Structure 1
Amino acid sequence: MVRVAFVTGGTRGIGRAISARLKADGLKVAAGYSGDDANAEACAKELGVMVVKGNVGVFDDCRAAIDKVEKELGPVEVLVNNAGITRDVVFHRMTPEQWGEVIRVNMDSVYNMTRHVIEGMRERGWGRIINISSINGQKGQIGQANYSAAKAGMIGFTKALALENAKKGVTVNAIAPGYIDTEMVRAVPENVLQQIIAQIPVGRLGTGDEIADMVSYLAGEHAGYVTGSTLTMNGGQFMS
């Protein structure tokens, strides 16, 4: 049986690597995105995946996206909550807009997307929910009170949802990446980037493919005994 996966933020960076890997694993894949139509079209063509536009911070957008995917590909059985943004600023200067936008896109989206697939997963007796958190949700980061709060919230959500759905064959896990070699990280000034790498025991940035490898395992048939876990992938930079 060919399963269907939905990857939010699935056309760029880590999300694109995840979409590519799940497609290579033989799943039908839908990749969500919010704004860059040209990049999304290129992703669809190059990877052979369905792309779906919408704002994950809006409940009704998520319902429409899931409906569209399920009509075209079938029931969503693997959900990867990967979409995220940053609006970095120290908290004493943070505006309500900077706080609210990050919480909506990074945290509310996890509810918005999961709520529309969880009942179907429970009814079918099988499902995989994988939440992409962050090292900064585990240890915090200066200038990221909003981002760190949202990513820490994802970890608590993962544990609670795992407990609620374990007997229904639905696993819920989180991955907390460290610094990954993406466009966002490559945009950091070289001197700052080298300071970051110097703090990573393995001496390099991670890759999107390495995160995708872990998602591939968690999304598969052999991961039924792994649930409620937060898997750290940060080169030893933070151990919990």
Structure 2
Amino acid sequence: MKTQKIALITGGSKGIGKAIALELAKEQYTVWLNYLTDHNGAKETQNIIEQNGGSCKLLPFDVSNLGECQQSLSHLLEEETPFALINNAGFSRDGILAMMSEEDWTKVINVHLNGFYNLTATVLPFMLRKRRGRIVNISSTSGETGVGGQVNYSAAKAGLIGATRSLAVEVAKRNILVNAVAPGFIDTEMTKNLPKEQILPSIPLGRFGTPEEVAQVVAFLCSEKNSYLTGQVLSVNGGIYT
């Protein structure tokens, strides 16, 4: 019997993370689903996966805390190694830099960039031993072009792009492919209060994207169909930044 591959997804209780979890479950991955506080959302995602015959393990911990990451994953990693790691956990605290608190700067950087380090540094040694794996970092259009009021978020997402490219070079010889996906305006809780009537004219496709459209790109990057694409940023943005 063929052993199912494992996908570890951070921030998987809602939005893009949830869509990625559901998509990879369809592709026969066993899902390790991380979240912080949204237990109801995580449980709902788990229920959907299990009702469709899949397997989903819930892992509540703070990605910005290295100790929590190691404590939550160490016993699992001794038994099994994820084939795919999707660093998706994130949030925004928008505001102009001149009035931004140190807390708003630090928390955004900690979750996105330190979270990337904490998860990847914990999982990567096991992938290296297996000589295979896929790492996908969820960046943003904000990390590719300047966005007023998002200096902290843009810095974090741009940092993920740089980390993606460098790590891809480091681990390519071990058959581990590292890529980033940069969503634009996607219909999620994070964008629900944005003024769509002002934003839509700037999007060539004339609409917000769906979490599922992002998830399908992630699924491709995690699949065996992707055997030669690494160190790249795939922008899922409806043409808003080309």
TM range (shorter): over 0.9
Which of 1, 5, 8 aligns to 1:6? It is 8
Partner of 1:61: 68
Deviation digits for residues 169-200 of structure 1 (CA, Å, limit 9, x no counterpart): 00000000000011221233xxx211111110
Once the 2 structures are TM-superposed, how far is the Cα of residue 64 of structure 1 from its aligned partner? 2.1
Q: For residue 135 of structure 2, give the secondary structure of its aligned residue in structure 1.
A: strand
Q: Once superposed, which parts of structure 1, at least 4 consecutive aligned residues long, lie more than 3 Å away?
A: 68-72
Q: Displacement, 1:228?
A: 0.2
Alignment of 1:202-221 (within 5 A): 202-221=205-224
% identical equivalent positions:
40
Structure 2 residue aligned with 1:156: 162
Confirm whether residue 52 of structure 1 aligns to residue 59 of structure 2.
yes
Cα displacement string for residues 98-152 of structure 1 (whole angstroms, at most 9, x for unaligned residues): 1000000011100000001111111111010000000000002111110000000
Whichever residue aligns with residue 34 of structure 1, its letter is L
Contact 2:220 2:226 in 1 (8 A): yes
**Structure 1: gaps spanning 5 or more residues:** none
How far apart are the structure 2 equivalents of 1:26 and 1:18?
13
Native 8 Å contact 2:5 2:83 kept in 1: yes
Residue equivalent to 1:176 = 182
| Aligned partner letter, 2:67 | D
| Residue identity opposite 1:62 in structure 2 | C
> Following the alignment from structure 2 to structure 1, what is the Cα–Cα distance between the partners of residues 204 and 100?
32
Cα displacement string for residues 212-232 of structure 1 (whole angstroms, at most 9, x for unaligned residues): 111111001121211000011
Deviation at 1:93, TM superposition (A): 0.3
- Secondary structure, aligned partner of 1:223: coil
**2:13–2:38 Cα contact (<8 Å) kept:** no
**Residue pair 1:30, 1:69 contacting (<8 A) in 2 also:** no
For residue 16 of structure 2, what is the amino acid of its counterpart? I
CA contact (8 A) 2:46 2:57 kept: yes
Per-residue deviation at 1:71?
A: 6.2
Amino acid paired to 1:104: N
Q: In angstroms, what is the RMSD of aligned CA positions? A: 1.2
Per-residue deviation, residues 5-25 of structure 1 (Å, max 9, x unmatched):
000001110000000000010
Mean CA deviation greater in 151-160 or 1-10: 1-10
Q: Distance in 2 between matches of 1:56 and 1:140?
A: 26
Q: What is residue 53 of structure 2 aligned with on the other side?
A: none
TM-score relative to the length of structure 1 = 0.95
Alpha-carbon distance between aligned partners in 1 of 2:111 and 2:76, rounded to the nearest angstrom? 20
Cα distance in 2 between the residues matched to 1:149 and 1:186: 23
Q: Is the 8 A contact 2:77 2:123 kept in 1?
A: no
The answer to whether residue 152 in structure 2 is matched with residue 146 in structure 1 is yes
Counterparts of 2:41 and 2:218 in 1: how far apart (Å)? Answer: 23
Partners of 1:15 and 1:197 lie apart in 2 by: 24
List gaps (5 residues or longer) in structure 2.
51-55
Aligned residues between the structures: 235
Q: Secondary structure at the match of 2:148?
A: coil
Determine the C-alpha separation between the residues in 1 that align with 2:41 and 2:219: 23
